[in-house]
Amino acid sequence: MSKSALVFGASGVTGWSFVNEILNDYPQSQVWKRVHALTNRPLSQEQSQWPKDQRLNIVSGIDLLQGSQEQLESTIAEKIPDIAEVTHVYYLAYKAGTDVQKELEEAVAMFQRSTLAIDKLSPELEFLVLQTGAKMYGCHLLDNHPTDYLQVPHKESQPRLKQPYHDLLFYHPQMDWLEDYAKDKKWSWIDTRPDIIIGFVPNQNFYSLGTVMGIYLALWKEVHGSGSEATFPGTQKSWVALSNDSSSDMIARQTIYLSLHPEQVTKGTGYNVADAKEPSSWSKKWPALCSYFGLIGTGPSDTPPEMRKFIKENIGTWKKLEAEKGLQTGHADSPLTFPGFEYFLMTQFDFDRQYDMTKTYATGFNEERDTLHAWGLVFDRMRKAKIIP
């Protein structure tokens, strides 16, 4: 048990699974002696839904943008007494915002300050992972996504976004800085690239498609009954568009595997992370998700239902359900949730954006998961946490 992990953004939609997988001894027992879970907001062990384990250290309240660099390092050293033993850092922190320039500046500053601190405080550091994503391939540009030099299936070797989009994406200055800073370091690093992340979050989140989908389908069942038909809440184009689901469990497993096998990876390069080698579409996934709730998933209509609108229109039914089933309150229509993000994801991502998964699977990682397995685990955890009935 020689490895010690530090997870930035541990209560987020990806970070939660990293901590969970480590505490459940992935990839095997006798590897992890410690995991430090850094969260911005306070989080108790009971609320977290992580296993009760003496190896877990939940650290809340470290603001990566607050104070001088020396003050940040002092705070980290104080809250993580065994910081010197950390061998693996998974940087998954993200401060959401609507001001693109401010978001970029804060994202770069947070990452630089945290990396400088860990490099100084953790002499045993072996590996650092920066999670980026499908924006590397321009998927967030929607109708403007470049198809001349970024073609599907997206490979990690594809060129970066060209201007004017290049300088608007904070991944680029993060990676450029890290490449320069780490070139002579003994530790290695990579960036990992999930698509839309499907995962469980114990508290309310800026955007989590798994959370909204679970609440929506549970509410649909309550309103329309078990066995009823649930129309796909998206367009005909998004119904057939190809992509690779990136569930947080598989992101965690693939990333942890890569970080524990530095001999199999190329330092300073990107790795696509996803549930399976082959892409899928909502036409396959939607019926499977509906079946989990005892519903019949049907294809799109001319006027697709809006999940957020349906939840708001039936919030009284949901609150009654919360009271009857002893559910947590505040998740269904949280003010922390970015308004309308799920409608955006279900209607605007209507083009093929599938990944080439050859590079990641060539390292020796071989696990794959289907839709019901990956999403079902999220819904199972939501039930256990009493977020849905």
Quick: pLDDT tens for 138-187. 999 999 999 999 999 999 999 999 999 999 999 999 999 999 999 999 99
Q: Name which of 368, 338, 110 is nearest 208 in CA terms.
A: 338
C-alpha–C-alpha distance, residues 51 and 278, integer Å: 32
C-alpha–C-alpha distance, residues 194 and 210, integer Å: 15
Three-state DSSP at 344 gives: helix
Half-sphere exposure of 368 (CA within 13 A, CB side): 12
Q: Assign residue 61 a region: left if phi > 0, alpha if psi is -120 to 50, beta otherwise?
A: left
Mean pLDDT of the chain: 95
Q: Name which of 188, 212, 186, 189 is nearest 200 in CA terms.
A: 212
H or E segment and range at residue 191: strand 188-193
Q: Is the peptide bond before 42 cis (omega within 30 degrees of 0)?
A: no
Q: In the chain, what percentage of residues exceed pLDDT 90?
A: 89
User: Position 75: which residue type?
Assistant: T
Q: Name which of 167, 93, 80, 89 is nearest 127 in CA terms.
A: 89
Cβ–Cβ < 8 Å for 349, 328: no
Least-confidence region, from 96-110, 264-278, 333-347: 333-347
List, in sequence order, every residue forming a beta bridge with 296; answer none if it has no partner: 229
Phi/psi for 292 (5° steps) reads -60, -35
Phi/psi for 270 (5° steps) reads -95, 155
Q: Which of 26-30, 92-96, 98-102 has the highest mean pLDDT?
A: 26-30
* pLDDT value of residue 164: 93
C-alpha–C-alpha distance, residues 259 and 270, integer Å: 12
* pLDDT value of residue 205: 67
DSSP code at position 306: P
Cβ–Cβ < 8 Å for 358, 273: no
Three-state DSSP at 13 gives: coil
C-alpha–C-alpha distance, residues 305 and 219, integer Å: 13
* pLDDT value of residue 129: 98
Q: Average of pLDDT values for 234-259?
A: 97
Q: Report if pTM > 0.75.
A: yes
Q: Name which of 181, 130, 134 is nearest 154 in CA terms.
A: 134
Q: Is the pLDDT confidence value at 56 over 90?
A: yes
Q: Is the pLDDT confidence value at 206 over 70?
A: no
Phi/psi for 335 (5° steps) reads -70, -15
Cβ–Cβ < 8 Å for 203, 47: yes
